[in-house]
Structure 1
Amino acid sequence: MKDSILQQILTTSSQLNKKIVFPEAGRDPRVLHAVSHLTSTGAAVPVLISEAGSVEALADAENIELPDDIRIINADDKQGLKERTVFFEKKLSHKNPTKDQILLLAKNPLMIAGWLVATGQADGAVAGSIASTADVIRASIRTIGTSEGAKLVSSTFLMELTDGRVLTYADCGVVPYPDSEQLADIAISSGETHRKLTGQDPKIAFLSFSTKGSADHERVDLVREALFLAKKKKNEWAMDGELQFDSAFVPDVARRKSPDSEVAGQANVYIFPNLDAGNIAYKITERVGGATAIGPILQGLAKPYMDLSRGCSKEDIFYAACIASVLSDS
């Protein structure tokens, strides 16, 4: 029997020995339990950020025994604070921040995590069990920045269907109403995410309520323009649009509606025209279709910084770290 996508990601992560930083380790017991599981399985090498001994105190309270050699960064450490101050002064010089503003950034655990990743001291970061998505994205952009060619941060969900197939849905969590250029950017980032995590070549469907001219509307025009822009950047990839979901997913429908398409009926990456559609679709696929939803997975960053739901479990945090590990290796 084929392993689930999460088991495949865990197996790959365990071979990589990547350093993943946790800025909320001193404030959320779920994070420390996930960290304990990471160390016991060897799935990743955790790096923890502590504020005034918070990690050690929480570990004692939760009866969690951390390895003696685990790296714990003190947010108030004078030498580290000096290094981070210099980093943020250079990084944000174009905004002319005050010394007090720089100091606040240099002491912020989310920013410290991003600094560690940006400077190569860690390979990825995982946060959001306490912090909001907006704060996590803000920290990631100010420290790590976007990847080459990407202009925005977006998100995907891996959807593992009951028959074992794995699809990528985007954007389901970040960009509400992308314009055509942003939609093209989301598609390319999503294709890269799908390739890195599943090992499959992306076959990208730009979704709409129209299939190949069956309707005319400005929203359909936006999807067509997005496909055009994406193909200019990644002409070697299989992408098509505009396609209705059934045309993209069901081979028999694809043969009738779009017989000449190299994507229709076999798409594995689904690009929704807006956040309404993407968010609704992944929840229907999960709740009605019985799929396993894995995410959100932030993408478009130069290095991985994973965002968690504030209702996440310790298992969610564990696997987010494994995903960050795999993404950092590609």
Structure 2
Amino acid sequence: MSLINEIVKRAQAKRQRIVLPEGTEERTLKAANQVITDGIADLILLGDSDEIHALSKKWGLGNIDKATIIDPKNSPKKEEYAQLLCELRKKKGMTIEEAREKVLDPLYYGCLMIKNGDADGQLAGARNTTGNVLRPALQIIKTAPGISTVSGAMLLLTKAPDYGKNGLLLMSDVAVTPDPTAEQLAEIAITTAETAKVVGCIDEPKVALLSFSTKGSAKSEAVDKVVEAVKLAKAKAPHIQLDGELQADAALVPSIGESKAPGSIIAGHANVLIAPNLEVGNISYKLVQRLGNAEAVGPILQGIASPVNDLSRGCSISDIYTMVAITANQAIAANNKK
């Protein structure tokens, strides 16, 4: 069974309530129809009901009627949510009038549904920027307990079965934090290990914090940051198997790992790769995707108390379908912790 099929099966087994705020967007609606057909999640579509029904009829999407359709402008809960938002943001000076205006924005409405216990996760970004998707999530849902850093992980399904878990690797951060501090890098390592278990089906994450140096082979402030991040991550999450600083080949290739970092339980066996900054992470995964012909799934946002995921505005119907299943898997894990 492929990884994507495993993710879908787990979502089907314990269906979650997933909000799609871009309810009138064509790819989103077409993906939603397939999600409902396959029983992956109980979907909540936000937008004008008449428009959604008209579009679903136009495109022959017969199962959209089985979704819950809510227009924030006409919702009987909009005042309740406005009061909730005002309470959450009162220290930032938000007035009830401002809250009532924000609630009309589907991205805010969806996050308020999650905060109020009326939904389990949200997926958007086909029409909206990452900033627009993240802003209400951080204002309303906030970060997970003990975590202050949000990051984005990418699942890489490579054609190199000797590396990672039969060619499966998880890389982070590829999407959110440009130049993390040692403390932030440690948190990224911890949350990515959790994502590996929840979404990547990696029962034993082996986390390598990457650098251009392996175990002191080079000296610089950049290397020092990674070394410090390793110490902080081990102290904060001693149950996670992680090591660094490691060069990419030392992290992945057993013979090189043994040569450059003898005695390391991670060197040569890593299945989770933590880039030292966003520039390295983003460039690296795209090179693997394009030159190595790997399938890249994500980014999967992590560090938020309840799952809110972001799509590329160039996403496909298949991308949205897969990310709904991934969001559902994250929601199952989050609800199990409550």
TM-score range, shorter chain: over 0.9
1:186 is matched with 188
* Matching residue within 109, 112, 115 for 2:112: 115
* Cα gap change, 1:167 to 1:323, in 2 (>3 Å): same
1:13 partner amino acid: A
> In the TM superposition, what whole-angstrom CA distance separates every residue of 1:61-96 from its partner, at most 9, and x where no partner exists?
323223544211121125211111111111101111
> In the TM superposition, what whole-angstrom CA distance separates every residue of 1:23-64 from its partner, at most 9, and x where no partner exists?
0012x1111101100111111111111136332232233232
2:273 is matched with 270
2:3 partner amino acid: I
Q: Is 1:211 aligned to 2:208, yes or no?
A: no
TM-score, reference length from structure 2: 0.94
Deviation at 1:189, TM superposition (A): 0.7
2:100 is matched with 103
Q: Is 1:8 aligned to 2:6, yes or no?
A: yes
Moved more, 160-169 or 55-64: 55-64
1:185 partner amino acid: E
2:318 is matched with 315
* Matching residue within 50, 53, 56 for 2:53: 56
> In the TM superposition, what whole-angstrom CA distance separates every residue of 1:211-253 from its partner, at most 9, and x where no partner exists?
0000110000000111111111111211111000000000010
In 1, Cα distance between equivalents of 2:123 and 2:215: 40
Check whether the contact 2:11–2:40 (CA below 8 A) recurs between aligned residues: yes
1:256 is matched with 259
In 1, Cα distance between equivalents of 2:107 and 2:99: 14
2:196 partner amino acid: H
Deviation at 1:171, TM superposition (A): 0.3
Check whether the contact 1:84–1:106 (CA below 8 A) recurs between aligned residues: yes
Deviation at 1:131, TM superposition (A): 0.5
| Root-mean-square deviation over aligned CA pairs | 1.3
1:174 is matched with 176
Give 3-state SS (helix, strand or coil) of 1:316's partner: helix
TM-score, reference length from structure 1: 0.96
Check whether the contact 2:17–2:41 (CA below 8 A) recurs between aligned residues: yes
Check whether the contact 2:21–2:106 (CA below 8 A) recurs between aligned residues: yes
In 1, Cα distance between equivalents of 2:20 and 2:240: 35
1:144 is matched with 141
In 2, Cα distance between equivalents of 1:83 and 1:77: 13
- How many positions carry a matched residue from both structures? 327
* Matching residue within 116, 121, 125 for 1:124: 121
Deviation at 1:115, TM superposition (A): 1.1
In 2, Cα distance between equivalents of 1:196 and 1:206: 20
In 2, Cα distance between equivalents of 1:142 and 1:136: 11
Q: Is 1:36 aligned to 2:38, yes or no?
A: no
Check whether the contact 2:49–2:70 (CA below 8 A) recurs between aligned residues: no
- Structure 2 residue runs of 5 or longer lacking an equivalent are 334-338
2:288 is matched with 285
Deviation at 1:10, TM superposition (A): 0.9
Give 3-state SS (helix, strand or coil) of 1:31's partner: helix
* Cα gap change, 1:236 to 1:252, in 2 (>3 Å): same
- Structure 1 residue runs of 5 or longer lacking an equivalent are none
In 2, Cα distance between equivalents of 1:200 and 1:270: 15
Deviation at 1:130, TM superposition (A): 0.3
Check whether the contact 1:154–1:174 (CA below 8 A) recurs between aligned residues: yes
In 2, Cα distance between equivalents of 1:29 and 1:43: 19
Check whether the contact 1:52–1:76 (CA below 8 A) recurs between aligned residues: no
1:20 is matched with 18
Deviation at 1:291, TM superposition (A): 1.4
In 1, Cα distance between equivalents of 2:101 and 2:276: 38
* Cα gap change, 1:209 to 1:78, in 2 (>3 Å): closer
In 2, Cα distance between equivalents of 1:184 and 1:54: 46
In 1, Cα distance between equivalents of 2:83 and 2:61: 35
In 2, Cα distance between equivalents of 1:166 and 1:140: 29
Percent of residue pairs identical: 37
In 1, Cα distance between equivalents of 2:117 and 2:49: 24
In 1, Cα distance between equivalents of 2:202 and 2:26: 33
Q: Is 1:91 aligned to 2:93, yes or no?
A: no
Deviation at 1:160, TM superposition (A): 1.0
